[in-house]
């Protein structure tokens, strides 16, 4: 049995879904704590490729976060510090996650070149490198989409 992910377009072989791949990646990070160094990128990439998991505001926020990490070169600690400042000043009165009536979506679906299943296929030995490549790919695809739109 094979099907396609309605969100990222990945081909699901033998009933294996993107959520299964996401859990595999989380499992690897749990097995090898040093892989947690790219956890923030992995979670962002997965969710950006499945935008309905976000609210509309959450999706916009996540895109800015990815830009901060990939283009801005910020560390998770630096981003957390900035977010704390934003929360303290009451700027975040919205929810990150999708809920009925408010799901993130792209006007034009970006052309993804790499997905969770590709990171799984590369394997645990090169996990950190592939997640960094995944983040760069997702960032490029999103940039390309916003230039065309
Ligand atoms: Zn998917």
Q: Mean pLDDT throughout 79-108?
A: 83
For residue 149, the model assigns a pLDDT of 46
Alpha carbon of 129 to ligand 1 centroid (Å): 21
For residue 145, the model assigns a pLDDT of 73
CA 79 distance to own-chain centroid: 16
Q: Do 107 and 8 form a contact (C-beta atoms < 8 A)?
A: no
Is residue 43 pLDDT above 90, yes or no?
yes
pLDDT tens digit string along 45-87? 999 999 999 999 999 999 999 999 999 999 999 988 887 877 6
Alpha carbon of 25 to ligand 1 centroid (Å): 14
Alpha carbon of 17 to ligand 1 centroid (Å): 7
Considering only residues 149 and 83, tell me which one the structure prediction assigns the higher pLDDT. 83
Q: Mean pLDDT throughout 93-103?
A: 89
Alpha carbon of 85 to ligand 1 centroid (Å): 33
For residue 47, the model assigns a pLDDT of 97
Percent of the chain with pLDDT over 70: 92
Q: Give every CB contact of residue 127 below 8 A, 6+ residues apart in sequence.
A: 25, 28, 32, 35, 38, 119
The rounded mean pLDDT for the chain is 92
CA 113 distance to own-chain centroid: 14
Collapsing DSSP to helix, strand or coil, 1 comes out as: coil
Alpha carbon of 91 to ligand 1 centroid (Å): 31
CA end-to-end span of the chain? 36
Alpha carbon of 125 to ligand 1 centroid (Å): 23
């Amino acid at each position: 049995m094979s099907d396609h992910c309605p969100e990222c377009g990945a081909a699901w072989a033998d009933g294996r879904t993107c959520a299964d791949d996401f859990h595999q990646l989380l499992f690897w990070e749990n097995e090898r704590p040093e892989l947690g160094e790219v956890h923030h990128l992995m979670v962002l990439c997965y969710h950006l490729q499945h935008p309905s998991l976000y609210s509309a505001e959450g999706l916009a926020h996540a895109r800015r976060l990815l830009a901060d990490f990939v283009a801005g070169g910020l560390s998770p600690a630096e981003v957390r510090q900035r977010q704390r400042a934003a929360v303290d000043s009451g700027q975040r009165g919205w929810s990150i996650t999708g809920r009925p009536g408010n799901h993130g979506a792209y006007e034009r679906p970006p052309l993804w070149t790499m997905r969770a299943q590709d990171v799984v296929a590369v394997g645990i030995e090169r996990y950190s490198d592939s997640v960094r490549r995944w983040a760069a790919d997702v960032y490029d695809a999103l940039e390309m989409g916003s230039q065309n739109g």
